[in-house]
Amino acid sequence: MGRPPCCDEIGVKKGPWSPEEDEKLLDYITKHGSGNWKTVPKHAGLNRCGKSCRLRWTNYLRSDIKRGSFTQEEEQLIINLHSVLGNKWSKIATHLPGRTDNEIKNLWNTQIRKKLLQMGIDPETHSPRTDLKHLMNLSQLLAISNNNNNNNLMHMSPWAHSGLGLQQPDVAHQLLAQQMQVLNNVLQLINGNSLSLLPNIQSLINNPLDAFVNGINTNTSLEPFLRGEETYGNPSLVLPAQSDVSKSLETEAKAPIPSSSNSSGSDMFNNQIPSHSHNSSSTFDPWEKLLEDDDASDSFWKEILDLTSDSTSPRRFLVED
């Protein structure tokens, strides 16, 4: 025998709510309040289970539900709160009046998550992405870029002369900029957050085509790493989830993000990494916690051993999707 259905009644209606059902539920709750949800459908004259009624009320019929798309400020707040709270949608929703946990969850899964991934940020950990698939894309892109002659690239792109934002970069160049961001992230991790290998990487990110023209050969540093020849022991490559970060960080997450002088429109994501993600103390707090936790520590070191045990095979990263 499996688990019994959530409702005592067999044959209760499921699926989308009709306007008539909405009206009945709204009318009943307005007059009597919800009380015991299990009894609501019976009293309201609905052939639904109480759970379904509660969900319909909290996610749709409540008068304080805010309609319409999310603002940039709301999205930013969600990202910041998620970096502290993780997938605690109901907790996140308490900081956004009029928004439901379901709505926020949907927004995260359908839009924000994708944007973060494109930017080279792991939406689970809010740390730079280091998964193999993304790195291979980067490797291919760099190879293509280096195989093309620089004049062609210059000719193709007015963006290279004007810098980001002055002219709309085409899709390929936006992609390139995103890949450069990933490269930067990886190198930061390798170098312990210093940029010593490529001191002018930031200019490369800001204006990648000019950087190529000026002779930065990113393959020099990256390819050995991609081939697995570069030794690394930086645990940041598999940063643990920060879902258990102190609740006090919620306050920090809610703090307004300083606006960048050159950010505009979709550039809101350029500065979205919460400050504590790059703050050395809070970044390593989960690590200290991890190392204190025997079970978690065991599994972590086991994973490291798995990663390093086969030196002949390509380096295995966190592969997703």
Partner DNA sequence: AAAACCTTCAACCGCTTCATA
Partner DNA sequence: CTATGAAGCGGTTGAAGGTTT
Give the residues lining the site for DNA (CB under 7 A).
2-3, 5-6, 13-17, 34-38, 48, 50-52, 54-56, 58-60, 69, 87-91, 101-103, 105-107, 109-111
Smallest separation (angstroms) from DNA to the CB of 55: 5
Between 89 and 159, CB nearer to DNA:
89
- Can you list the positions of beta strands (E) in the chain? none
- What is the torsional sign of CA 147, 209, 175, 220? positive
> What 3-state DSSP class applies to 124?
coil
Bridge partner list, 164:
167
Maximum distance among all Cα pairs of the chain, rounded to whole angstroms: 76
Q: Would you give the DSSP letter of residue 11?
A: T
Cα–Cα–Cα angle for 234, 237, 243, rounded to 5 degrees = 120
Between 17 and 212, CB nearer to DNA:
17
Between 6 and 136, CB nearer to DNA:
6
Smallest separation (angstroms) from DNA to the CB of 166: 26
Smallest separation (angstroms) from DNA to the CB of 75: 12
Between 14 and 302, CB nearer to DNA:
14
Q: Tell me the CA distances in angstroms from 313 to 52, 157, 235, one per residue in order.
A: 51, 38, 20
Smallest separation (angstroms) from DNA to the CB of 90: 4
- Number of H helices and E strands in the chain, helices first, is 17, 0
Smallest separation (angstroms) from DNA to the CB of 233: 30
Between 69 and 248, CB nearer to DNA:
69
